Amino acid sequence: MYSRVQTWWTILRICIEERLVYRGDFALGTLMRFLPIITQIFLWTAVYAAASRETLPGGFTKDDVIAYYLLTMVGRAFSSMPGLASGIARQIREGEIKKFLIQPIDLIGFLLLARIAHKLVYYAVAIGPFALVFFLCRDFFTDGWPEPEVFAAFVASLLMAFLLGFFLEAAIGMIGFWFLEVSSLLFVYMLFNFFFSGHMFPLNFLNAYLPDWAQPIAQFQPLQYLAYFPAAVFLGKISGPDLTLGLIAQAAWVVFFMIVCRVAMHRGFKRYSGYGG
C-alpha cells in the first residue's frame, strides 16, 4: 500500500514539475480569456435595454448575467479537459497505450493525476489574473459574497465538475479502441457542451421555452453541471431542496461516467491488438 501511494505521489510531483514550465503561458492565457467579458457587458446591456425589463427568465438581472459569465469561466476552468479525449485516442492509434498494459500503472489513474497537476499549477499561477478581473467586476456581484454553506456547495460543485469533465471526456477517448478517429465525435460533443453546459447563456433562458416533456431532461442532463450549476449556486439561483438534489444528481453523474470510463477501458484492452508504437 505504501509503495503504491509513493508511486502515485511521484507521478503527481513529476506532472506538476512539467506543468510549471508553462506558468507564464497559464497567466497570460487566463488574462486573455477574460477579454470577451467586455463584449458580454455591452451585449447584455443592449439586450436588457431592448427588452425594457429588469429581469429575464430565472430572475437574472443584467448584473447577474455578467457575474454569471465570470463564474462560468471559473467552472469551465475546472471542468474543461483540452486534449484529453483526443490524446487517449491518439495513444491507442499509435500504439503508445501498450505501456499501460505492461507496466503496473493504471491508465485512468495516471491521466487523472496529470490533470490534477495541470489544474493545481494553473490555479496557482492564474490566481492573480482571476483576482484582478473579479476585483474590477465586483460591482456586478450585487448580492455580495454567498453564505458559508452556499460557498461550500459551490466549491463542492466545482470539484465534482472537474471529475465529471475528466471521466466524461476520458470515456469519449476510450471509443478510440473501436474507431480509428474520434475527432468528428469530439466536434459534436464540444458543440453540445458549449450549448447545454450553460457556457453560451444561462440555461434558465432555454428552459423557459422548452415543452413540458423536455423539462425533466433539461433539468438533469449532465452537461449543465460543468458550468451552469456551479455559477447558479454561487449566485443563489439554486437553493434549498433544489440545491441538495442538484448536488446529488451531479455526484450520480460523476459515478456513472467513472464506471463507463473504467468498463470501456477494460473492454478496450481486451480487444487491443498492440500494433505500432
The dihedral of CA 166, 168, 174, 176: what is its sign? negative
pLDDT for residue 31 is more than 60: yes
Strands (E) in the chain, as ranges, are 55-56, 60-61
Residue type, 78: F
Share of the chain above pLDDT 70, in %: 86
pLDDT in tens, 13-26: 777 777 666 666 66
The whole-angstrom separation of Cα 215 and Cα 221 is 10
The whole-angstrom separation of Cα 129 and Cα 28 is 8
pLDDT for residue 52 is more than 70: no
pLDDT of residue 29: 66
Q: Which residue has the higher pLDDT, 11 or 90?
A: 90
pLDDT of residue 134: 82
pLDDT of residue 6: 74
Cell 456586478 sits on residue: 140
Q: Which residue has the higher pLDDT, 250 or 137?
A: 250
Dihedral pair phi/psi, residue 211, rounded to 5°? -65, 165
pLDDT in tens, 178-204: 887 788 888 888 888 888 888 877 887
The whole-angstrom separation of Cα 199 and Cα 68 is 9
CA atoms within 13 A on the CB side of 110: 11
Q: Using 50, 70 and 90 to split pLDDT, how confident is the model at 43?
A: confident
The mean pLDDT of the chain is 82
The whole-angstrom separation of Cα 21 and Cα 30 is 16
Q: pTM (2 decimals)?
A: 0.86
| Residue 228 near residue 203 (C-beta atoms within 8 A) | yes
Q: Using 50, 70 and 90 to split pLDDT, how confident is the model at 159?
A: very high
Residue type, 277: G
pLDDT in tens, 107-126: 888 899 888 888 888 787 77
Q: Using 50, 70 and 90 to split pLDDT, how confident is the model at 274?
A: low
Dihedral pair phi/psi, residue 55, rounded to 5°? -135, 155
